[in-house]
Structure 1
Amino acid sequence: MAAAALANQVEVLAFDIFGTVADWHGSIVREMRERHPQVDGDAFARAWRAGYKPAMARVASGQLGWTLIDDLHRMILDDILPRFGLAHLGGEEREDLNKVWHRLDPWPDSVAGLERLKRRYILCTLSNGNIGLLTRMAKRAGLPWDCVLSAEVFRAYKPDPATYLGVAKVFDVEPGQVMLVAAHHEDLEGARRCGLRTAYIERPLEFGAAQPKDVSARPANDLHCTSLADLADQLGLG
């Protein structure tokens, strides 16, 4: 579908957050540099994130009951701290460090890009992060959401169809009137299976400069964008 026709069909833009709108890796590295400069923040950030999918898989399989991402992040954190010489951290220190996910910095283009997109579209989050986390992150970073939606609302983690179809249901639109905006192909594939439109955002430094991502275009996506500003350009927003 041509970009102009797509721009007119879509009513809701739903955004993945970790890596797409917010720089989780750089934010964790920054906090580790401030709190524990003796630790390799780059390796620490990647180790923490590496536990993300396995932890969610335990919930999806029924091994764990429904669990908020805040609590999964804490479980992963407790597991990795000894590997980085931080087993001595007390409960309050661990809890505050775990809330780094509430304090993630947006990518440099995120706020301005979202403000442009908001002129025409309903903007919502569609993240596995819980509502409290996403709301506090938005408040701190100035992210101008119209609505905060989360896996918590649907009690299912992406790529469960309940998440993507849930957005359409919340706004009483057809799936094809919702576009998922994400930097992760698995997420976008899940959205397409449910009939959503998809826009890929290049975030080559999501895992840090030492581990650049392949951000090559894939023809299955409706749009391929270098940034949220580029997404606004392609959708015809000045």
Structure 2
Amino acid sequence: MTPILAFDVFGTVVDWHGSISREVRALYPQVDGDALALAWRAGYQPAMQRVRSGELGWTRIDDLHRMILDELLPRFGLGNLSESEREHLNHVWQRLDPWPDTVPGLARLKARHTLCTLSNGNLGLLTNMAKRAGLPWDCVLSAEVFRAYKPDRRTYLGVADVFRVPPAQVMLVAAHQDDLAAARACGLSTAYVERPLEFGADRPKDVSPDPANTLHARDFMDLADQLGC
């Protein structure tokens, strides 16, 4: 049995697209919440690449999200938002809703496994998210702990080091095949979880199995079934 289950968070555990779209529509009905959510997320990898390349020093995701948001607001007619309004909107990433199966599935998995996050989100963000959504983590781990963003090897191997187990005793659970491939390259086990609606109902994801993964699950309840929880 793999004792440590490490979870990607954005898209795997929580519905970033639906959550952001709903909140933007509620706060600013004149704005296309779907488009803003997608544009915000599209800036995520380029912003982290600026850190990886050394263009920026170590920068938390909260701060990268704010940099991306400030660039986007004028495009969506929100360039006049106050500092407090911008900060509140930026913290929507701490208020993301879990997928319907997330909390009951994690509760089952926790009965036999140690559950932790392995996210590019920073510690404060992940902790506040867990508190609000009732996510029953045993430990919150973040790229912030390792001062490196996934797919840097330090993140995946860092989980094994924290728990003093061989990498094969850690299973990364994620809805993103590139994340899982990087984890496997470090010796971790991997489980793919289908999240076909990650980018919204109008943009269903290809969730075809990759035989390289240890497991392929429809959701966390199915993962719990396959792991005998």
TM-score interval, smaller chain? over 0.9
Instruction: Pick from 211, 225, 229 the counterpart of residue 233 of structure 1.
Output: 225
Answering whether residue 159 of structure 2 is matched by residue 167 of structure 1, we say yes
After the TM superposition, which parts of structure 1 deviate over 6 Å for at least 4 consecutive aligned residues?
Answer: none
Instruction: Pick from 195, 198, 205 the counterpart of residue 197 of structure 2.
Output: 205
Instruction: Pick from 34, 48, 73 the counterpart of residue 56 of structure 1.
Output: 48
How far apart are the structure 1 equivalents of 2:208 and 2:216?
A: 9
Instruction: Pick from 121, 131, 134 the counterpart of residue 129 of structure 1.
Output: 121
Return the TM-score normalized by structure 1. 0.96
Deviation at 1:90, TM superposition (A): 1.1
Deviation at 1:30, TM superposition (A): 1.0
Deviation at 1:137, TM superposition (A): 0.2
Instruction: Structure 1: give runs of 5+ residues left out of the alignment.
Output: 1-7
Q: Deviations over 1:37-90 (max 9, x none)?
A: 111111110000000000000000000000000000000000111111110101
Deviation at 1:33, TM superposition (A): 1.3
Q: What is the aligned partner in structure 1 of residue 62 from structure 2?
A: 70
How far apart are the structure 2 equivalents of 1:33 and 1:154?
A: 36
How far apart are the structure 2 equivalents of 1:236 and 1:50?
A: 37
Q: Deviations over 1:89-147 (max 9, x none)?
A: 01110001000000000000000000000000000000000000000000000000000
How far apart are the structure 2 equivalents of 1:99 and 1:220?
A: 36
SS of match in other structure, 1:22? coil
Q: Deviations over 1:194-228 (max 9, x none)?
A: 00000000000000011110000011101000000
Q: What is the aligned partner in structure 2 of residue 111 from structure 1?
A: 103
Answering whether residue 156 of structure 2 is matched by residue 146 of structure 1, we say no
How far apart are the structure 2 equivalents of 1:38 and 1:214?
A: 31
Q: What is the aligned partner in structure 2 of residue 84 from structure 1?
A: 76
How far apart are the structure 1 equivalents of 2:139 and 2:193?
A: 21
How far apart are the structure 2 equivalents of 1:186 and 1:63?
A: 24
How far apart are the structure 2 equivalents of 1:103 and 1:83?
A: 24
Which amino acid counterpart does residue 39 of structure 2 have in structure 1? A
Which amino acid counterpart does residue 138 of structure 1 have in structure 2? A
How far apart are the structure 1 equivalents of 2:212 and 2:54?
A: 32
Which amino acid counterpart does residue 100 of structure 1 have in structure 2? V
Return the TM-score normalized by structure 2. 0.99
Answering whether residue 180 of structure 2 is matched by residue 193 of structure 1, we say no
- Identity between Structure 1 and Structure 2 (%): 74
Instruction: Structure 2: give runs of 5+ residues left out of the alignment.
Output: none
How far apart are the structure 2 equivalents of 1:192 and 1:220?
A: 9
How far apart are the structure 1 equivalents of 2:67 and 2:122?
A: 15
